[in-house]
Amino acid sequence: MEIEIRKSLSFELFQFKQQHYNKVFKAYASEVFQASKVFQDYLILQDGRNDVAACAVDLQSYYVKFSDFVVLPEFRAKGYGRKMIETLENMAQNYQKEMLHQLQKQYTGSQMHLQSEIHPVDLTEMPGFLKHMGFTSFPYEKEELNDAEIVAERAFKQGYHGIQLALFKKQVLP
């Protein structure tokens, strides 16, 4: 397994992301897909020459936010998702160490954590996977959401009445 950071997804991962959006967001899929960033930093996991998993990564002051987490169906339950989470944890640890080194006394020492995009608590398998990996669900505030999540939240609420949405967070120790 090799890991790299790229600005875009391979065609196969891009196509799978689009299919997933169509399945989950239904009539709102196009709007949500267009709101999601196409070119951003993606953590890509490769098996040989094939891209098998990916997620978008956004480094913030005290957390590493990930979104568009995808493992191709034929590679699920083989440890690729776990490897992605472990890599994200390592990124967060390294980022926290860098912050501590650069800022010294100005850095308050707040705990670094990983944070997912908003997810419906019961609609997809992602929340179960995140809980298995040690994440806890949290209610969110509107100001925590990026533009794509605001569109997704609206689509979820219009498409699934009474749906419960949450962020998933996991503390990362230095």
Distance in angstroms (rounded) separating the CA atoms of residues 100 and 86: 21
Identify any residues that bridge with 58 across adjacent strands, giving them in sequence order: 65
Between 123 and 171, the more confident residue is 171
Confidence label for 146 from pLDDT (cuts 50, 70 and 90): confident
Across the range 66-71, mean pLDDT stands at: 89
DSSP annotation of 161 reads T
Shortest CA distance to 24 belongs to which of 80, 84, 68? 68
pLDDT at 141: 87
Residue with tokens 């930093």: 41
pLDDT at 133: 92
At 51, phi and psi to the nearest 5?
-75, 125
Residues in the chain, overall count: 174
Q: Cβ atoms within 10 A of the Cβ of 95, count?
A: 18
pLDDT at 38: 61
Q: Where are the domains of the chain?
A: 2-172
Residue pLDDT, tens place only, 99-116: 777 766 555 556 778 889
Which of 3.40.50.10140, 3.40.630.30, 3.40.190.10, 1.10.10.10 would CATH assign to domain 2-172?
3.40.630.30
Across the range 25-48, mean pLDDT stands at: 84
Q: Cβ atoms within 10 A of the Cβ of 93, count?
A: 15
